[in-house]
């Protein structure tokens, strides 16, 4: 059974999340072994929240669950790439489709992403 190298990153591996249809990179999160096993078992992206220090079923509050379509692992076994179907269209808690909604241009940030929802309406 393949398993990412969790020991290398102090129990966590970074997980890149990509939209299976548009190929847009939606976010980066982290998994520990428990999150990895839960993701494999349920088919729904489950991460380890470093800020809350707890297992995090993505979309638990917002309903914006990520259905895992494909899982890739990198050459060093220390990074995961998930190809997902993003329910509710948006991955970012700010309401944008992707967490990478800002482009760096001439040393400044310019918003280029697509806003899908109002966080105040979703996280009540």
Residues that bind a copy of itself (CB under 8 A): 1-2, 14, 16, 18, 22-25, 27-28, 40, 70-76, 79, 81, 92-94, 96, 99-104, 107-109, 112
Angle CA 48–51–55, to nearest 5: 25
CB of 100: closest distance to a copy of itself in angstroms? Answer: 4
CB nearer to a copy of itself: give 6 or 96: 96
Q: What letter does residue 33 receive in the DSSP assignment?
A: H
CB of 101: closest distance to a copy of itself in angstroms? Answer: 7
* Max CA pair span of the chain: 47
In this structure, are strands 25-31 and 13-19 parallel, antiparallel, or unpaired? antiparallel
In this structure, are strands 80-86 and 13-19 parallel, antiparallel, or unpaired? parallel
Strand, helix or coil for residue 34 = helix
CB nearer to a copy of itself: give 55 or 73: 73
Q: Give the residue carrying structure tokens 């489950």.
A: 46
CB of 23: closest distance to a copy of itself in angstroms? Answer: 3
CB nearer to a copy of itself: give 74 or 89: 74
């Amino acid at each position: 059974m393949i398993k990412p190298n969790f020991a290398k990153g102090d129990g966590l591996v970074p997980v890149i999340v990509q939209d299976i249809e548009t190929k847009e990179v939606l976010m980066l999160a982290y998994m520990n072994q428990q999150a990895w096993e839960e993701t494999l078992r349920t088919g729904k992206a489950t991460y380890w929240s470093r800020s809350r220090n707890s297992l995090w079923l993505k979309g638990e509050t917002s309903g914006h669950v990520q259905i895992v379509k494909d899982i890739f692992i990198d050459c060093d076994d220390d990074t995961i790439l998930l190809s997902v179907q993003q329910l509710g269209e948006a991955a970012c808690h700010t309401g944008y489709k992707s967490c990478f909604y800002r482009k760096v241009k001439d040393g400044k940030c310019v918003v280029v992403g697509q806003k899908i929802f109002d966080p105040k309406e979703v996280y009540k």
